[in-house]
Every structure is written in C-alpha cells, then in structure tokens.
Structure 1
Amino acid sequence: MKRLLRNALRSSWVQRAAGFLAAEFLRLVWKTNKFTLDPPNVYDIVEPEMPVILAFWHGQHFMTPFIKRKDYQGRVLISRHRDGEFNALAAKRLGIGTIRGSGDHGGAFHRKGGVGAFNEMVRTLADGINMALTADVPKRSRVAGLGIIMLARESGRPIMPFAMATSRFIQLKNWDRTTINMPFGRGVLIGGEPLSVPRDADRAMMETLRLQLEASLNDATRRAYIAVGRPEEAGHG
C-alpha cells in the first residue's frame, strides 16, 4: 500500500496537479494579504543593481515568486529531489524560470547536479537575469552556506537578502520549519543589507561574508515576524 501511494505521488499527473493547486493557492494568499515593504523604496534600491542574487531561508520560500515585477526576468534554484518537482511546476505557473540542482557545496555536490547548476546560475546572471536561491544548505536550517557566496564571487553580482512573512500561517515541524502562508491577513517583505563579494576574496573573507549574510537574513526574518504581529516567531522564524 505504501509503495502504491509513493508511486502515485511520483506520477507526472499528480505532480502537475499539485503544482497547479499550489500556485493558485499561493496566488490567493498574495491577493488576500495586504503586503507592505520595508524599506518602502526597496525596489528603488534593488533595480539599479540588477541582475542580483536574491537570498532567503529554506522553508520561507512560498511567497517569494510574487516579488517579481512584470518587466523582471528571474529564475530560482530548485533541488532535483522528487519533492522539488511540484515546486518547480508551481514556480513555472507563477512565471519563474527554474534551474534544477543543489546549492550545497558539500560531499553530494556533484551527485546532486551542483556543478551544472552552479555554472547555469553564473550564465543566468551574465545574461542579465536575476537568480533566486536559498542561502542555507539542506538539513542545516538558518546556517548560510558558502555556495551562494561563491556564486556572488564568480558572477560579480550582489546578494540581496530578504524575508517575507504573513500574519496567518501554518508551520511544519520539519528541519527547515516550512511555513505555509495562509490567506486573509497581512504580510511584509523585509530587505536585508546588500552584500558584494570581491572576485579576489580568499577563504577567510568568504567566511566573514557568509556570517554577514547569515546575520542579515536572521535579522530580516526577525523583523518580518514582528512587523506582522507575530513576535513569538521572531526568534526562530
């Protein structure tokens, strides 16, 4: 029975249906939450720097497609894991291109398609297209990885960290505390401190910048939950 259920969930039509439903549910969430921006001129800050690397935490990603304006081009990195398939389908329906692979620069980097994905992200940025990806690596929630720092160094493009939160949500008890945003509340987009990585950055400098990115994202997440009236979530996002 478990095998039948697992095979059904992996089937292309089930994943397409799940992607469609997820995209339309998120569209409902976006339309029924009153979103504010902090700072209010966040787009004026980001636009002159485009293409940029948009960074956010795992589990806080569901509303991120809606930061894209109609005249922007953007792609998002999504894992090759089967759970990533319906995320990719949902992103496509919401007008976001995808790159499949891992941002993890650990031992599974090659096996998970990391090298190809990294090169494709560099090309994407060189083509003037914004690139969005999670800053933390799988199974290490709220700990920024070096992958995104390496991407900024190689591409020469700045990292723009941000956090989004809604006042109504369901939070799962998994490793990244996945937050499912809910309709009929209020929301916020908090921009963190932009970060540039020099092309000649050595390992020590990259580690310093990694910690800066981690702190910026944690601060943006904390401020986001406070802004939507959920201060009890500010400490653990």
Structure 2
Amino acid sequence: MKKLLRDILRSSFLQRAVGVLAAEYLRLVWKTNRFSREPQNIYDLVEPSMPAILVFWHGQHFMTPFIKTKPEYRAKVLISRHRDGEFNALAVERLGIGTIRGSGDHGSAFHRKGGVGAFKEMVRALDEGYNVALTADVPKRARVAGLGVIMLARESGRPIMPFAMATSRFIRLKNWDRTTINLPFGRGTLVGIKEIHVPPDADAATMERLRQDVEDTLNEANRIAYAMVGRPEAGGAAAHQQPRQVARQEAHHG
C-alpha cells in the first residue's frame, strides 16, 4: 500500500496536475490583489541593470514569478531536484519562467544535489541575458543568507537585487521557513531597496560583509512590505532564526 501511494505521488500525471493548479491559483492571487510598488518607479530603476540576480527569502517567494511584467524580462529560477521541486518547476514554467534544477550549498551533498552544475548554468543564463531568481537562505536556516548568491554575483559580474513581496491576506505555516501562502482578494506590494554589487576580486572578508548586507536588506524589504499591507511580521527577523516543527496554520484576514 505504501509503495502504491508513493508511486501515485511520484507519477508525472499527478505532478503535472498539481503544478497546473498551483500556477493557476497564484495567477488568481495576483489578479485579485491590488499590488503597489515601493519605490513606485522600481522597474525604471532596475531595468538598466538587468540581467540581475533576484533574491528572496525562502517561504516568502510564491508570488515572485509576477515580477516578470514584460516579455523582454526573461527569467530563470533555481529549483531543487527533490521530487517536491517538480511541482514548483511545472508551476513556474506555466507562468512563463524558465527553470534551473539544482540546490544551494548543502556541504558534502553539494555535488550530489547538482549544485555545481546549477551554479554554472546560472552564470551562463546571466551571460545570455536572463535574470536569475533564487532564495538566499542557507538550507534549513531561515533568514540567514548564504555565500552562494555572493559567489554567483562575483563570478557573473551581475548585481544582486533583494526583493520582498507580501499580501495582506495569507496563511503562515509554523515550519522552518514560516512558509507564507498568499490568499486572493486583498492588497499586495513589491519592495526593492537597493542593488548590491560584488567586486570580481572580492576576498573572504568582503564577501562576508556583502553577505550580511544581503541578509539585512532582505529583512528590511520584508519588514517594509508587510508594514505596507498592514501586517507587520510578528517578532521580526529574529523569529525566523531557529527551525520549527510544522504546527497548526495561522490564517490572517484583511
């Protein structure tokens, strides 16, 4: 029975169905929330720097495919090779975003999880004019930026653009990254603060300083985004530092 259930969950038909449903649900959320931008002219400001490396916090990233508002904003996103990643990959591809399959820094598992190949593919995509999007967190350590995005910026020569998207209505899970499931029929916002550039000759101290800058900028962008939709994040960034067990869901309604 367990084998049958596992085979069903891994079937391409179910994965494709879930991917399609997820994409169409996110499209509904996008269309039924009144989105604002901070700053208002954010696209005019960032367009000259494209292609760029767009980074978000894990669990706060579901609405990010809709940053791609123009056909000329070509984009690819890094998605895990884990089977759960199949649903995400199918969903973002349906929303017009390309995918790069692999994982971030998993220590000794980096090679096995496709990290090296994915890194090279991201560098190549940036060189070909694609914006590349990925989460900045160290795996299983929410709101702690890893050095991977800094290494990518140093190697590619492209700027890092930390962003946050939030909606006034959401469900937040009490898991390790406090995953936020955005809900329709509310207000939303997109916040970007600044670009972060990594010199090609950056040494270890410089990379650590810029890693901290990415972390601080993402936290500030998220703080502003949730404040703009009237849902300040309880506990701030510190509330996200320790892993949590999955618990009951919290529903927020606006």
- Give TM-score scaled by structure 2 length: 0.91
Range with bigger deviation, 187-196 or 103-112: 103-112
For the 8 Å contact 1:136–1:145, the answer to whether it is kept is yes
Match of 2:101 in 1: 100
Match of 1:176 in 2: 177
Query: Which stretches in structure 2 are left out of the alignment for 5+ residues?
Result: 241-254
Identity of aligned residues (%): 74
Match of 1:15 in 2: 15
For the 8 Å contact 1:52–1:158, the answer to whether it is kept is yes
CA gap of 1:170–1:105, structure 2 versus 1, over 3 A, is same
Q: Is the partner of 1:88 in helix, strand or coil?
A: helix
Match of 1:76 in 2: 77
Q: Distance in 2 between matches of 1:32 and 1:176?
A: 26
Q: Is the partner of 1:8 in helix, strand or coil?
A: helix
Match of 1:138 in 2: 139
For the 8 Å contact 1:226–1:234, the answer to whether it is kept is no
Range with bigger deviation, 1-10 or 43-52: 1-10
Match of 1:150 in 2: 151
For the 8 Å contact 2:127–2:156, the answer to whether it is kept is yes
Structure 2 letter corresponding to 1:48: P
Per-residue deviation at 1:181? 0.3
The question of 1:226 aligning with 2:232 is answered no
Q: Is the partner of 2:55 in helix, strand or coil?
A: strand
Q: Is the partner of 1:141 in helix, strand or coil?
A: strand
Match of 2:92 in 1: 91
Match of 2:198 in 1: 197
Match of 2:247 in 1: none
CA gap of 1:18–1:170, structure 2 versus 1, over 3 A, is same
Per-residue deviation at 1:106? 2.3
Q: Is the partner of 1:107 in helix, strand or coil?
A: helix
For the 8 Å contact 2:167–2:183, the answer to whether it is kept is yes
Per-residue deviation at 1:105? 5.6
Q: Is the partner of 2:162 in helix, strand or coil?
A: strand
Q: Which digits, 9 at most, give the CA deviation of each residue in 1:137-186, with x for residues without a partner?
A: 22011000000000000000000000000000111121111111000000
Q: Distance in 2 between matches of 1:79 and 1:111?
A: 12
Match of 2:244 in 1: none
Number of aligned pairs? 237
Q: Distance in 2 between matches of 1:155 and 1:138?
A: 23
Q: Distance in 2 between matches of 1:205 and 1:2?
A: 50
Q: Distance in 1 between matches of 2:234 and 2:87?
A: 27
Structure 2 letter corresponding to 1:149: I
Range with bigger deviation, 111-120 or 167-176: 167-176
For the 8 Å contact 2:106–2:139, the answer to whether it is kept is no
Q: Distance in 1 between matches of 2:68 and 2:170?
A: 22
Match of 2:45 in 1: 45
Q: Distance in 2 between matches of 1:88 and 1:36?
A: 27
Match of 1:34 in 2: 34
For the 8 Å contact 2:223–2:233, the answer to whether it is kept is no
For the 8 Å contact 1:225–1:233, the answer to whether it is kept is no
Structure 2 letter corresponding to 1:99: I
Q: Distance in 2 between matches of 1:62 and 1:215?
A: 21
Q: Is the partner of 2:73 in helix, strand or coil?
A: coil
For the 8 Å contact 1:154–1:199, the answer to whether it is kept is yes
Match of 1:110 in 2: 111
Q: Distance in 1 between matches of 2:233 and 2:26?
A: 24
Q: Distance in 2 between matches of 1:68 and 1:26?
A: 14
